[in-house]
Structure 1
Amino acid sequence: MTGRITALALLTPLLAGCDSLWRWTAQPFRLSCSLGADPPTLFRIVPRLQQVQELDPKTGEVSRTITTSRPPPELGGGIIDDSEVTITPRRITWENSMYRPQFERETNTIDLTSLTYTSGWQLRVDGGPEVREGKRTGRCRRIEGPA
């Protein structure tokens, strides 16, 4: 009996924290993010599904969904586009790699603590060793209300 009480006493603080974590992981939220002088891009972040949805600024409808998608290893690189999304309580990152005929990679990061937005790209020129790169930074703001 004492072992059960001790286990319950140890688990109670852990389970109490799970409620706030569950609320964060279960609820989508929206962000409006700008890079430089570009018009804002609206995003719906769905942590539970590890999804970033780009929204049409006029209608609010989903215009693009980014999820983790990796080609099967047997196909080899360069056949299918791949993407990876990682959403944590502090940071959202998504990366898209495209092969058209040259290799292109786009990486985006939103720091949820400071609401800074960073977007970078790499382009392999003519399939050779030369790589062009660029990086831009901006800010995000949280949009209140139902996502």
Structure 2
Amino acid sequence: MKFLLLVVLAAEHPMAISQSPGPDIHRVAANAARLHDTMLDPASFVLDAVYLTKPSKRGNVSVCYEYRSHNTMGGYSAGRAVEDGDDHNRLSTYTAAESGRYPGYNVGWVAPCKSKNLDREITADVAPLAVALYRKER
């Protein structure tokens, strides 16, 4: 009987059994679209992954973006960005060091996107919304 009540409650209120609330998906999608629009060749932009981090000591969740786009030589260059929950959701971009890692993103003392800090991937939720917000074709 309790299980049936739980199923009925979940059907009427899908958020009643969801995971902890994260950032607004529309804001995250808008930031992904902003990254797209800043690329040298926006048509080649690929959003590889979007992750939410575990809450920080202050209780803030950050959003980590992994993407790539054509560079001036025609090859793909990878980039990373983070919407830092501890810094008023400021969006910062990062380029790879010679080691192939991203200092400040996933390497360093305060890097929010280290693998141990990642909570869940939300790429499937963000990507379709971001495409609708793209302003540049080329």
**Higher gyration radius (CA):** 1
Give the shorter-chain TM-score range: 0.3 to 0.5
TM-score for the superposition, normalised by structure 1:
0.30
Which has the larger strand fraction? Answer: 1
Which has the larger helix fraction? Answer: 2
TM-score for the superposition, normalised by structure 2:
0.32
